[in-house]
Amino acid sequence: MTPVVELRDVTFRYTPEGPAVLDGVDLSIDEGTLCLVVGPTGGGKSTLLGAVPGLVPRFTGGHLAGTVTVGGRSTAEFPPRELADVVGTVGQDPLAGFVTDTVADEVVFVMENLGTPVDVMRRRLEDTLDLMGLAEVRDRPLRALSGGQQQRVAIAAVLAAGPKVLVLDEPTSALDPAAADEVLSAITRLVHDVGLTVVMAEHRLERVVQFADTVVVVPGDGTVRSGPPRDLLVAPAPRPPVMLLGELAGWDPVPLTVREARRDRASLRECLAGVPGPELTDLSERPVVASAAGVAARYGPVVALEGVDLELRQGEVTALMGRNGSGKSTLLSLLAGMRPPRSGRVEVLGADPVRLSPDQLVRSVGLVPQDPAMLLFCERVDDECAAADQDAGAAPGTTAALLASMVGDVDPELHPRDLSEGQRLALAVAVVMAAGPAVLCLDEPTRGLDHDAKTALVADLRRLAAAGTSVVLASHDVELVAEVADRVVLLANGRVVEDGPARRVVCQTPVFAPQVARILGDDRWLTVEEVAGAFARGAAGAREAGE
């Protein structure tokens, strides 16, 4: 196959004396393939992605040595605007990149700037709308679209220029499972049917690994490794649950998809047949620390919530799930006292959160919003941590320790805006957690987090719940919910359509079921950790029977 992206002896540093983010990297990406870039938060994935269209170092600063060529053009000789017909880039937040008001206007904008002839522009517009499944919404306002539609419009706007390469930075991180499937289906169609080359970074491997032709691992030490998914995604690299389950069961080859795993599940189900599932804790008698009764909320004519009833108990982890736009974020904002409901009543520790003083509110309920930068005001990470400790009345170093537990060492002198997406989110979570609120609200808390940071967050949430904190999180991350949630509240069109134990709700809803449950078809098992525990209990039982 013909390489369309080539990096030769590429080294990049943000400062002349600083560490090499990329160190002597050689990499070739073939035409018509989907290349998945993986690695730890802050390890250099975004730098690698930015180097492909020439955004690094032209817009980021820093020092780049070596050569990067895309479609035969050197990024050193051609600025990004002169590479738009060769390579296109779509960031994590599509709304932030929109410059017009409607779908059709956004798709033709780049072509107008490139001086594309009108007849060619019209044909490309229709072709692109069809390819991305957007023809029916061509005249809709961009802000009236679902999250999945917005992401597809962002991709369509780049595709209209006719590039050979598409660079995507976590395109499904803010999407519900159904919307993510729509976007990934469109991307794979572009690769298979059109021959586009896609270079994509993504932390949620369970969503994308089955589509990848090549995996590029960026471990954070400046090096880069590439190869087929089964060759690169081996211990200690993070793997999706389907691969971890295959390794645990001893399957060869290790499956990449749920469908592959289901073909081999018979022996595993037989081993688990006589083993009892994990013991579940009854939290129904715990005291209620926050509640919503008959709550309604609107944004102009748009109904966000209607008649919502909810009780949150001490020491319980509650997951709010549902499609983009179902009302999850609005419900969290009401619980956190960010706004009053249009009707109904919200209480936290027996008080209306809107009426609490700032000191009372920070110790009663804390909210980490989808945009964590909203909570960060200082110009250095260490100043942000110190300010959070002071505001919370916590011991010095508390916030910094929470941050380190999630993402390891972070340069304390960095400005928060210079952190990676995952590091910035972890800092905001640490700032809120430092105050020890009775109710902790998290809106998409794993967006941008790598596997290790997510594992640390799960441990922190379990610890907080065990200490009595009521945790409520809005999340599209079905694997996170399977690991940490006691209860799931499913929202649709602003109403609660299901409320019950996490194990029952997610297994009854195929779209929100974790990979292990879909493979085994048994609601006793949601995670690889639970299956491993079952193996251990089964082995212990066999030893006892032998004795």
Alpha-carbon distance of 522 to 505, in angstroms, equals 13
* Mean pLDDT of the region 65-71: 96
Q: What is the pLDDT of residue 320?
A: 97
**pLDDT above 70 for 243:** yes
Structure tokens at 57: 């170092």
Q: What is the pLDDT of residues 376-423, one digit of tens each?
A: 999 999 999 999 999 888 999 999 999 998 888 889 999 998 887 778
- Please indicate whether residue 362 or residue 42 has the higher confidence score (pLDDT): 362
Q: What percentage of residues in the chain have a pLDDT greater than 70?
A: 98
Question: Coil, helix or strand for 219?
Answer: coil
**pLDDT above 70 for 546:** no
Q: What is the pLDDT of residue 17?
A: 86
* Mean pLDDT of the region 220-231: 92
Q: What is the pLDDT of residue 224?
A: 94
Q: What is the pLDDT of residues 269-319, one digit of tens each?
A: 988 888 888 887 788 889 999 999 999 999 888 889 999 999 999 999 999
CA 530 to chain centre: 23
Please report the domains of the chain, with CATH numbers, ordered by start residue. 3-232 (3.40.50.300), 288-523 (3.40.50.300)
- Please indicate whether residue 420 or residue 536 has the higher confidence score (pLDDT): 536
- Hey, how many other C-beta atoms are within 10 angstroms of the C-beta on 133? 17
In this structure, what DSSP letter does residue 438 have?
Answer: S
Q: What is the pLDDT of residue 522?
A: 87
* Mean pLDDT of the region 106-134: 89
Q: What is the pLDDT of residue 540?
A: 52
**pLDDT above 70 for 544:** no
**pLDDT above 70 for 541:** no
**498 and 488 in contact (C-beta within 8 Å)?**
yes
Q: What is the pLDDT of residue 542?
A: 45
Q: How confident is the model at residue 176 (pLDDT cuts 50, 70, 90)?
A: confident
- Hey, how many other C-beta atoms are within 10 angstroms of the C-beta on 505? 22
CA 90 to chain centre: 15
- Closest among 347, 343, 345 to 288, alpha carbons compared: 347
- Please indicate whether residue 447 or residue 541 has the higher confidence score (pLDDT): 447
Q: What percentage of residues in the chain have a pLDDT greater than 90?
A: 58
Mean pLDDT of the chain: 90
Q: Is 308 left (phi over 0), alpha (psi -120 to 50) or beta?
A: beta
Q: What is the pLDDT of residue 131?
A: 84
Q: What is the pLDDT of residue 238?
A: 85
Q: What is the pLDDT of residues 40-67, one digit of tens each?
A: 877 889 899 999 999 999 998 999 999 9
Q: What is the pLDDT of residues 144-161, one digit of tens each?
A: 787 778 888 998 999 888
**pLDDT above 70 for 543:** no
